[in-house]
A and B are shown apart, each in its own frame.
Chain A
Amino acid sequence: MGGRGRGRGRGKPMSFDIESLGFQNKKELPKSKEEPPPLYPPLEFKPVSLQEGEEADYLLALKQEFRGSMRESPYFIKPQSTKRDIERYSDKYQLNGQNKGQGLGWTPNWNTFPKELRIREKKPKRLKVSVKPSLSVTKVKAKGQKSDSKEAENKLKQILQTEEDGDDDEDEDEEEKKKKEAEGEEEEEEEFYDDEDIEEGTDYALSYFDNGEDYLDADDDALEDGPVY
């Protein structure tokens, strides 16, 4: 709609010719809108009613059921429960939610899935390597028990070997992870070791303690038998 040279010169020049549209004078033109369109445009005629019938009802039932079952399925990823306002001492002993959300809940076909999406399950390490014993010290002290110390030494060496092998694998894994993932991952792992220490360290039954915080938000169980809207 090129309109540069065409205005009649009267009043506000417009890019189209009013007369050819059928309007005699400018006042009959509908007003131009100067605001965004309304949120609900006016509905002039009432819409036609929905289809009824057995098929429609069955489809509706299917839909609602499907939706309900998908909510319960492991594919529905619930956001991790929000942290409480203050860190409590008892949090370390809670078994309920700390590590539950870690795993995927179902097994994908890893042949066709990218390997980097594997979430490393945090298995407790069987042997924790802290400090390599310094054998030179024992040698100096126990002169008379040289043979014994040698046996002990060999045994220790064997144990260390197996630990190191396990270590090496995990070191490699960690290096790979460093390349690909955020640093937060490693911090989580280190934290996990602390947790593990503590978990092993107590003599008390860990499931004994209940701080009563579940009372207010355990509505999930009540929802099982009811209808889903």
Chain B
Amino acid sequence: MAKGLQVGTGSSTVAYENLGRRRKQFVYVPVLRLNSMAQSQVRLGGLLLQHQYGEIVENVGAFLAAKGSFTLKDIAEGTKLGMNEVKKALCVLIQHNMMDFERNRRGILEYTIHINKVLFVTRYPRYIYCAKTLYGDVGEFLVEELLSHGQMLMSQVCRRVSERITQALEGQSVDELKVRKTFVELVETHFLQRVAAPPSDSADKEDEETELQIKEKEMFLIPPAMDIDYGKVNPTVSSSGKRKREDGEEGDKVAKRPRSTSPLSDEKNEDAPDKGVYWHINFTRFHQFFRDQAVLSALNSKIDRYACEIVRTMLRVSEKTTVPLAPTTHPMSSHEIFQSLPPELDLNRQTLGEYLTLLAEDKTEIVNKAGESGGGMYILNMQKALETLCKASIESVVQERFGSKCSRIFRLLLMKRHLEQKQVEDMAMIPAKEAKELLYKLFSENFVTMQEIPKTPDHAPSRTFYLFGINMHQVSRMLLDRCYKAMGNLISRREHENTENRRLVEKSQRVDAISASLQSSGADTTQMSEVEEMITPPERQQLNKLKHDINKLEQSELQLDETIFLLESYLPGSEAMVLY
């Protein structure tokens, strides 16, 4: 019996093992072996799923992520969960755009989880905040609803948001049309997109569920029933009183944010005018926006805000001609840029020309001059821009971890690409012994690579060049792996803190509930103070410390995610920037 054939396929190896089946039929099923990066991704994904959707979803998700694609039956066997529970978990994962399914050779559906999409969960607050800055509170609520439900009809989401706003504004009703307008704007700028649906003309019912496709032009098409032109639409605003409202407000920082997470089945969406057209967040577009933001703010701090505005204009101009997320844009002429500049900048042609030259000669190579026609043709190289940002990030990691002398060596190697040990010592102006030590420390931590170049055929060490250099892809990958591990550690630490203090937290919640009910029934101050005293001062101190610690951990998660995003965007094949 073959023990295990190993087939290497790039980043992970696939081993074939045999799985004994019930009736003693031996079936060869591919089993994934994960490399270190994938392992830390799976661990992080599991933690995120657990906190967001519960342990059952985590079991199913982690199983699929670690072992590959499986059918419903195999999943139930492998996770040892009940069939119903597995079904529910799979539904949740599909609803939240983290899972795909297709028919295998035998005609049975196999489910695959995309762990990189699970990892987007760490970025949800950033998406919501981004929508807020671009489209105000309405945009914020729209994106938040879509993120919490995964996929929704336009009518549903608009209705929920307008009700939320009405509640928040305490009485002043909001025109649902305004909400719809914002929705349409979000779609027009591609922040939202349609969910793939079975083609309407498919005759074969069997294959309907696997023939999900979405035509390019349909992706951002609003169904005619939801047109925002007043004349065409019958407003479907209904005062659904029967829907239960979730008034639990977590955290007293943000006052007016009632959340309604009532099940979608309660709503009357059978008679929705846009039945069947579901929308979800287009993560790629958000990522593109984040990338542009990062590059622009870097330019702002490096050169000045005029340069930042110029590049912003270039990005806008190139949107029409370039495929999104292409590494370099189409060439655009200086005249075009001049015409599209915002008038309040008040730049004349000459200054623009100077700035462009400055940008083109900058060693970061973000802007390239491609020709002289039209006053100078310029290309934006976003890939290089990302590389620059990554280099800066990694430099600061080296500095914070090993000290500024190491950082000097690192920057030197980045600049000169390959140096011998002696050259490093000389150029970095660090005493020889120390330079050696630092260099080898960097080497042992895999920030720096070494290349042997023999002078003689017998590879004698005294006659061989040993060149040190930096492989950006390798270092980025290593750091990204570390970041995933760190994120996982942050989450488990937070969980640990919660479990350690669970008794105390529950007690304080009970006390809060009691005092709240007392307050609403109009109690006097002595009763209130009695209730407050149920929690002793050292307990209160402990609670405060807990809150402080947890806030710190969560903030660390959010800020770590920025680095993760940067590294992911830079690395090819990491799917942060894949067109869906």
Binding site for B on A (CB under 8 A): 1-2, 5-6, 16-17, 19-22, 44-45, 47-48, 50-51, 55-70, 72-80, 102, 104-109, 111-119, 180-182, 184-185, 219, 222-229
Measured CB to CB, the nearest residue on chain B to A45 is B400
Measured CB to CB, the nearest residue on chain A to B402 is A44
Chain B residues whose CB sits within 8 angstroms of the CB of A79 once the complex forms: 54-56, 85
A-B contacts, CB under 8 A, total: 216
Contact of A223 among B52, B54, B263, B509 (CB under 8 A): B509
Measured CB to CB, the nearest residue on chain B to A229 is B550
Q: Is the CB of B84 within 8 A of A102?
A: yes
Contact of B151 among A68, A109, A116 (CB under 8 A): A109
Once A72-B246, A227-B252 are accepted as A-B contacts, the answer to whether A181 and B73 lie under 8 Å apart by CB is yes
Binding site for A on B (CB under 8 A): 51-57, 72-73, 76, 82-85, 87-92, 94-96, 101, 109, 124-126, 128-129, 144, 147-151, 195-198, 208-209, 212, 246, 248-254, 257, 259, 261, 263-265, 276, 278, 400-403, 421, 432, 436, 452, 458-462, 464, 466, 498, 505-506, 508-510, 512-513, 516, 546-547, 550-552, 554-559
Chain A residues whose CB sits within 8 angstroms of the CB of B261 once the complex forms: 69-70, 72-74
Chain B residues whose CB sits within 8 angstroms of the CB of A224 once the complex forms: 248, 513
Chain B residues whose CB sits within 8 angstroms of the CB of A74 once the complex forms: 261, 263
Top 3 A-B pairs, shortest CB-CB distance: A17-B461, A226-B509, A68-B250
Contact of A75 among B53, B72, B278, B421 (CB under 8 A): B53
Interface of B is mostly: helix
Q: Is the CB of B512 within 8 A of A225?
A: yes
Q: Is the CB of A105 within 8 A of B90?
A: no
A224 and B506 alpha carbons, distance in the complex (Å): 11
Q: Is the CB of A180 within 8 A of B73?
A: yes
Contact of A117 among B51, B55, B87 (CB under 8 A): B87
Chain A residues whose CB sits within 8 angstroms of the CB of B403 once the complex forms: 44-45
Q: Is the CB of A112 within 8 A of B84?
A: no
Chain A residues whose CB sits within 8 angstroms of the CB of B516 once the complex forms: 225
A57 and B546 alpha carbons, distance in the complex (Å): 17
A84 to chain B, nearest CB (A): 18
Q: Is the CB of A16 within 8 A of B72?
A: no
If A119-B87, A185-B83 are given as contacts, then 5 extra A-B residue pairs at C-beta distance below 8 Å, sorted by A number, are: A44-B402, A72-B246, A75-B53, A182-B83, A223-B509
A67 and B436 alpha carbons, distance in the complex (Å): 48
Chain A residues whose CB sits within 8 angstroms of the CB of B559 once the complex forms: 50-51, 56
Chain A residues whose CB sits within 8 angstroms of the CB of B250 once the complex forms: 64-65, 68-69, 227-228
B409 to chain A, nearest CB (A): 16
Chain B residues whose CB sits within 8 angstroms of the CB of A105 once the complex forms: 263, 265
Once A76-B52, A79-B54, A222-B513 are accepted as A-B contacts, the answer to whether A229 and B72 lie under 8 Å apart by CB is no
A68 and B498 alpha carbons, distance in the complex (Å): 14
Measured CB to CB, the nearest residue on chain A to B510 is A222
A81 to chain B, nearest CB (A): 13
A78 and B57 alpha carbons, distance in the complex (Å): 9
Q: Is the CB of A227 within 8 A of B276?
A: no
Contact of A17 among B54, B462, B550 (CB under 8 A): B462
Q: List 22 A-B contacts (CB under 8 A).
A: A6-B459, A6-B460, A17-B461, A22-B421, A48-B400, A63-B554, A64-B554, A66-B124, A67-B51, A67-B52, A68-B250, A73-B148, A74-B261, A75-B150, A77-B92, A113-B94, A113-B209, A115-B209, A182-B83, A184-B82, A219-B506, A227-B251
Chain B residues whose CB sits within 8 angstroms of the CB of A185 once the complex forms: 83
Measured CB to CB, the nearest residue on chain B to A73 is B261
A76 and B147 alpha carbons, distance in the complex (Å): 14
Contact of B251 among A16, A17, A65, A72 (CB under 8 A): A65
